[in-house]
Amino acid sequence: MADNTMYLEFPSKVENVAFARTAVAAFVSQLDPTMPELADISTAVSEAVTNVVVHAYPDTEGPVAITTKLMGQQVLVEVKDNGCGIEDVDSVRRFGTTTCSQERMGIGLSLIESCMDHIDVQSQVGQGTRIVMSKRLEQQRGGFGND
């Protein structure tokens, strides 16, 4: 299968979390992932977008951009915002820490890390955050569209 890329941009509204999750899952489905692989990717996308909605724009709405790339059996998902940013990414990656003075549990990045093979978080205070996550899928099993 040839490489393929999808790009989405939408406002940081809570009702768009399910849209992002479903859109990415539908796009990734062309690789015929297993149900657990698809659930992991969907969960990671939900958590990343939820983090943007809750933390990146605490008092307003702003854009959320998702780029999903399919490269062979590798899935790469980037979730990007232009929000408040994260002062100390390492501390946020530890369980129980949050950003922008929100009193939340802070398990989103830990959950993303447990669902994906690799996660990279880049952020600048006042300029936003970029989360890149990847997952390698099992070999194609000859399902629908893989004849």
Report domain extents, the chain. Answer: 4-136
CA distance 110 to 96: 9
Identify the pLDDT of residue 99: 44
The CATH architecture one would assign to domain 4-136 is 2-Layer Sandwich (3.30)
- How confident is the prediction for the chain on average, in pLDDT? 85
Q: Which of 38, 28, 112 lies closest to 76 in space, CA to CA? A: 28
Whole-Å CA distances, 9 to 13, 62, 95: 12, 10, 29
**Which two three-digit tokens encode residue 26?**
């539908």
Identify the pLDDT of residue 75: 97
Assess whether pLDDT exceeds 60 at residue 83.
Answer: yes
Other CB atoms within 10 Å distance of the CB of residue 69: 17
Tell me the whole-structure pTM to 2 decimals. 0.84
Stretch (H or E) spanning 47: helix 35-51
Per-residue pLDDT reduced to its tens digit, 24-37: 999 999 999 999 99
> Mean pLDDT throughout 91-110?
54
Query: Could you say which DSSP state residue 52 is in?
Result: I
Residues acting as catalytic residues = 47, 51, 104
Percent pLDDT > 90 in the chain is: 67
Stretch (H or E) spanning 10: strand 4-11
CA distance 112 to 122: 15
CA distance 36 to 100: 33
Least confident of 31-40, 67-76, 110-119: 110-119
Identify the pLDDT of residue 102: 46
Cβ contacts of residue 22 below 8 Å, gap of 6+?
A: 42
| Residue 8 banded pLDDT, cuts 50, 70, 90 | very high
Least confident of 7-21, 30-44, 76-90: 76-90
Residue 57: exposed, middle, or buried by beta-carbon count in 10 A (0-12, 13-18, 19+)? buried
Assess whether pLDDT exceeds 60 at residue 95.
Answer: no
